[in-house]
Amino acid sequence: MLQLGKYTITGAILAPMAGYTDVAFRTLCKECGAGLTVTEMVSVRGLVHDSQKTEQLMRLSEIERPSCIQLFGNDPADFAAVAKTLDCDIIDINMGCPMPKIVNNGDGAALLNNPERAGQIVRAIKDVTDKPVTVKTRLGYNIDENQAAALIESVAAAGAAAVTVHGRYARQRYSGLSDGGEVLKLAKSSPIPLIANGDIGEVFPPDPHIAALMIGRRALENPHVFDDKPEDPFGTARRHIELLTQYFDERYTINQVRKFFVHYFRRVHGSKALRSAVNIAESVSTVLHAVDYCEMLNQ
Ligand SMILES: Cc1cc2nc3c(=O)[nH]c(=O)nc-3n(C[C@H](O)[C@H](O)[C@H](O)COP(=O)(O)O)c2cc1C
């Protein structure tokens, strides 16, 4: 169980995933039992400059209570300016993204090399809001340089409520397997609750030092990973499409469906034909017919 300020989180958390965890997919995962959902990362610099695109990334649904927005950047003043205006319950800071366009700006995983700045960011937010602030990071920047402990100490002293650790180094990006042993070591020494992330279910044994688990890519394959109900690609796809059409236009809906069907239908007979049909579909109703047809083949 994880306590974030007045919010008690039970159940695994959906990891933020840029390009995937929009309001429709987060709602779907929440319906499937996710304990907490987090938006994909949103640039504080973008928000300070009032970009409309960034606003869309922060759309929340009613079911997302408590709601959590993930921010990235490196200037404490930007974070403070944005934190004052955010309409959400919890603020998460990305200190783990390894992508060059992010770290070259000093954002994301670059903050592992600058724990003092990481602490200043958390402090700047805590100075302007009572909302719980969490931090998401990795084991370190360079392989085998375990910098997470110093970062955790700094953000905890500044008032962070919890930290998520993905058990890879930034330089690894997504290669190899997440190191659950290193994450557990950090959990044992962390002054604040630690949320374990990275290949959960494959390498991570349950342990009382871990406050919660965060699941990313496995949820893309099967949102029922949260409630342990049997995998149901057809039902999942239909509900996901329904939610997408509720929040977005047809073009966006079809684009998302193309991405998700690769994961949902990976083990389904006829999935190749289904994906080909969806790749040329120009309307949601064509997509739904293709899903019905594929389901018929599987009965
Ligand atoms: C497509 C994709 C997009 C991601 N975007 C973000 C992001 O916006 N913010 C973030 O903190 N992590 C992001 N991540 C990392 C995930 O949150 C998570 O830490 C990682 O996938 C490991 O967990 P998993 O093994 O359960 O997938 C992303 C990962 C993927 C695969």
The whole-number average pLDDT for the span 78-100 is: 97
pTM for the full predicted model: 0.97
The CATH superfamily of 233-297 is: Putative flavin oxidoreducatase; domain 2 (1.10.1200.80)
Residue 295 CA to ligand 1 center (angstroms) comes to 30
The residue behind tokens 């929440």 is: 30
Residues labelled catalytic: 97
Kindly tell me if the per-residue pLDDT of 203 is higher than 90. Answer: no
Residue 207 CA to ligand 1 center (angstroms) comes to 22
Question: How far is 228 from 33, CA to CA, in rounded Å?
Answer: 9
List the domain boundaries for the chain.
2-225, 233-297
Check if 199 has its Cβ closer than 6 Å to any atom of ligand 1: yes
Q: At what angle do helices 148-157 and 180-189 cross, to 10 degrees?
A: 30
The whole-number average pLDDT for the span 64-83 is: 97
Element (H, E) at 80: helix 76-83
* Structure confidence by residue, pLDDT tens digits, 94-105: 999 999 999 999
Dihedrals phi, psi of 140, to nearest 5 degrees: 180, 180
Provide the greatest CA pair distance for the chain.
59
Q: How far is CA 74 from the centre of its chain?
A: 19
Q: What is the dotted CATH code of the domain comprising 2-225?
A: 3.20.20.70
Check if 97 has its Cβ closer than 6 Å to any atom of ligand 1: yes
Cβ 90 vs Cβ 4: under 8 Å: yes
* Exposure of 284 in the CB half-sphere (CA atoms within 13 A): 17
Residue 254 CA to ligand 1 center (angstroms) comes to 22
* Percentage of the chain exceeding pLDDT 70: 98
pLDDT band of 49, cuts 50, 70, 90: confident
CA 193 → CA 16, 160, 182, 189, distances in Å?
A: 19, 10, 15, 10
The residue behind tokens 């085998």 is: 144
Kindly tell me if the per-residue pLDDT of 72 is higher than 60. Answer: yes
